[in-house]
Amino acid sequence: MSFSVLLRRWERRSVKLAAAVGGVVALSAVIALADSSATKAATKHIGGSVTVWAEWTGPEQQSFEAAITPFETQTGIKVNYAGKPSGTMDSATETAVKGGKPPDVAILPDPGTLRILAADHALTPVGPIIGKESKNYAASWNTLASVKGKQYGVWFKAANKNTIWYNPAEFAAAGITSLPTTWTGLLADATTIKAAGIAPFSLCTDVGWPVADLWQNLYLKSAGPTDYDKLAAHQIPWTSPTVTTAFNLLADLVGTPSDLLGGTSGALSSTYPGCVDKVFPAPGSLPQAAMVIEADFVVNEINSNSSNYTPGLKGTGGATCTADASKTPCYDFFAFPYPSASDSTYASALQGAGDVATLTKSTPQSRAFIKYLASPEGGAIWAHLGGFTSPNKGVPLSAYPDPVTRADAKELVDAKGFVFSLDDLQGSWEPDLWADMLSVVKTPTAANIAAVEQTMQAQATAAGIK
């Protein structure tokens, strides 16, 4: 597997740290939160150690280690953490299990490997261990971590993909004062933005995964979470009228090349995170587009471009948002729109992703650690440090550092109908699915859409998706 694909998987499955946090600031934040919440999940002194694997390295690893500091202090358990290279966690865990040397706790980047390991009796059910902590999660999250009615995982970290990120200065320059709630309204605003002299969308395409995220939102908002899950499990064919509807909605966007930065060819050559940079550039460059459609991990790239960016509709010190990143630039998001005013049934349904903690070796130490991850304490600490969204309803919104991340987290936990990224559940034909999506971007005609649907149906059937 190529480095670019591995990097892509890490980027989209993990919400990276929004900004680097100094050691003193991080430590004081941890102490403040730990002291105020007095870790409730694990107060018994146990001692010993627990081995933990996940795909968090660099700043994410630092934040995770800060989040589990209270656990280590109060239980006396040493957490031996190993951050695995991006995109390798699933295979590394399966290999370790087959070799008889798994970690005690494996935090997996999707539910697919959880289901495989559970079917092979390689995981210990966590339901009896976490007890009432399971109520911290919406039923959809617990179901995603369950096999045949038994819960095998705890979702610790999540990504909200129900987001469109926009540059407030460009919206203000175009005279847009209210954010779109419908797909038709979004396309109408695109016309207004274009008339103001800037491209409406910097479309992320990369190897196809960002287009898959976009299309999956369109399918979810038009067909609903029940059909979404059926399509993911190949219980609905890819030739279904519901699939065609979502492709037609995508064609309404990509079929107007002037709405895309660089037109069709420019969009098809766009890689992540370069597409984000076109909307939220580093100082010295001006935005080339007003919006980028992707998950909340976009924030990491924005802040890495410049510390000048502030979340919301006011710049540093309450100043007016500027397009010039060297002054007082801003960023904000709005929820992915539903199809039209007359088709708002699934407006609150939400697509996302996340990292699920599983018990690959049951010991007193690993059981205590799983229960801690299911509690709000560790999540609240990481939320405060930034670059983190928790699906745990017990993590207070006040733990998040600004109004935008609070709104993002609230949208995630309040979602009525959560679904996991469909392409991540497709197994071996996932890269083919991405290529199919790009084919529609290149040629968004009815004839090509019909041909692509036939191809996808054959690919899913060959892959044995059930």
Q: May I ask the CATH architecture of the domain 163-335?
A: 3-Layer(aba) Sandwich (3.40)
Contact criterion met (CB below 8 Å) for 462 and 257? no
Half-sphere exposure of 51 (CA within 13 A, CB side): 10
CATH class of 3-160+354-417: alpha beta
CA dist 37 and 440 (Å) reads 50
* Stronger pLDDT, 35 or 60, i.e. the higher one: 60
Contact criterion met (CB below 8 Å) for 340 and 356? no
- Provide the sign of the torsion angle of the four alpha carbons 92, 93, 94, 99, taken in this order: positive
CA dist 308 and 411 (Å) reads 26
Span 429-438, average pLDDT: 97
pLDDT at 42: 52
Where do the structural domains in the chain lie, given as residue ranges?
Answer: 3-160+354-417, 163-335
For residue 39, pLDDT over 60 is answered with no
Query: What's the mean per-residue pLDDT of the chain?
Result: 91
CA dist 280 and 364 (Å) reads 47
- Tens of pLDDT, residue by residue over 206-224, are 999 999 999 999 999 999 9
| C-alpha closest to that of 270 among 319, 205, 318, 221 | 205
222: left (phi over 0), alpha (psi -120 to 50) or beta: alpha
Are 3-160+354-417 and 163-335 in the same CATH fold? Answer: yes
- Tens of pLDDT, residue by residue over 314-362, are 999 999 999 999 999 999 999 999 999 999 999 999 999 999 999 999 9
pLDDT-derived band at 387, boundaries 50, 70, 90: confident
For the chain, how big is the Rg over CA atoms in Å? 22
Q: What are phi and psi of 272, to 5 degrees?
A: -95, 135
Span 186-200, average pLDDT: 98
- Tens of pLDDT, residue by residue over 133-146, are 999 999 999 999 99
By CB atoms closer than 10 A (0-12, 13-18, 19+), residue 446 is: exposed
For residue 175, pLDDT over 70 is answered with yes
